[in-house]
Structure 1
């Protein structure tokens, strides 16, 4: 058991006292959802650590002389602070420390974290948000004109898939994290705008359970608006064959001052979807597992069906897909892409017809495949 003593903070507000690793909650409203669910401080701290399996994370730890540190010790080197929320840990021996002291103001190790830059290896230690930059891909945070941007590596098809899904989601009116291509990298602007709101991954609420129905029920109980937004997230995942939606790459936004749930976080992390692993053989989506799971959600949860029919303004067609392709300077098989996405959409629409449900789209022209 972790023998840790201090205070869990949100900015300069005390959230919980920690005595020998045990939580004594001071402000229940501000407590992270993970800790509300489990009370397990060590697990929460570990969840904030850089992925030790990334090649460049090992280089970073070596450069910072942290090679022998476990995940908890490593995140505590930066007071467990992250770019996307206001939580941090203040040890008993750090009584004069304030949020202003620990909040990240620069990142000297961005190049080392992103592509293993040898010129960064000999830099002196300074606090870096890379120690709490989670995920399996090589990436880094960069502060540009007062805003943090997350840069990520990827091949052409991964970057195309991420950018295309961003453009398609935006065209359909969904809440999407902002993405841009930057040379051979893709970058995304911090959607918390410097932790003006707190982002918490869904695992804080549902653990590792990514089952659609389980998640929908949890969001519906927490805050119905998030359940509505979750349906659009999964709809886009279904259209674009996102196999990699897991409980650490979607979540919620909370008010920093009150802890109130504001919304589902914008849709992000779609680089292992669509064409990222090449062109699937199943162009017309026969017996597609993601379509089956989404249809199951709509059939077994009437509210999910209600939210879907009210929220989805049905304007998906070949022209819309091609217009999104036009914005991305990566060559792909556009006919395949249209067939792949529209086949999924058609099967979802057929669900309504086969069950005698009005979806509100019957009078709209359907693009032939």
Structure 2
């Protein structure tokens, strides 16, 4: 498979700027791999496809307000700082992206907030837009993190051109988010409401929680035609004993095991035993899944509609079959499904 195999025409008006009014009432396209059929449903109908002791694997990462705006010393130029990951808690070092990057050099200081109580010094260049910042703040680490949260805003994807709204803080977060560390939401999970999860629980469906802290690397464009030469950024993952036991029991009993989102799928496929079972793991993954690929754990998947030539579309194509997925995407465009982070969903069984 080549990069050009994953191109399609996506009208701009299908890129979802806002979430659906109710989480579980977004649209749902259901792909049946065996029958090669497509159904059109609402997301809350997903319950009809799961039975007692089936498992949903959820990524419980929590998005933190990663986008800050500061002013450069002397010139006062407004600079966007996007927090990627904390490098050293004690020294308050962070890996960040800055925009506009050409104005930011080693030794520059940036001031945040009306009172300038938070200052950052640039101590390294990492990429064309990447910098390492040392934050200077007179207070404890807890107070420092509270200040970051106070000054930061919800990191909506760049394709959303509107201003961040107060409701985005809640809606750009799954209702089961627990472990803070993501700079982008695991968007397939945004469709679950508390009511829908409760109905699934009553039906006897089990949940296995894993963690993958989504980084911006997930959305990096693929710039090589030969997919084997593309390198994914590393993302931190955690798979603990309760999830392992729940998933492996379902596999042994031949139940439906559903990865909710490409991030959950990457997580579980990064820690597979030689016998095709899930292992515990605490570490990093840069796994890139594209066709052809043999999946070991999940036999179904929930995902959003992705953009052309994205690594996310490539994973979905590996799971459901390239021709079937591209046909489904043609149907989605024709039927005006909403794409990307706040868009509609697909269930593949």
TM-score range relative to shorter protein: under 0.3
| Higher strand proportion (structure 1 or 2) | 2
TM-score computed with the length of structure 1 as normaliser = 0.22
TM-score computed with the length of structure 2 as normaliser = 0.23
**Larger RCO (CA within 8 A; separation ≥ 6):** 2
| Higher helix proportion (structure 1 or 2) | 1
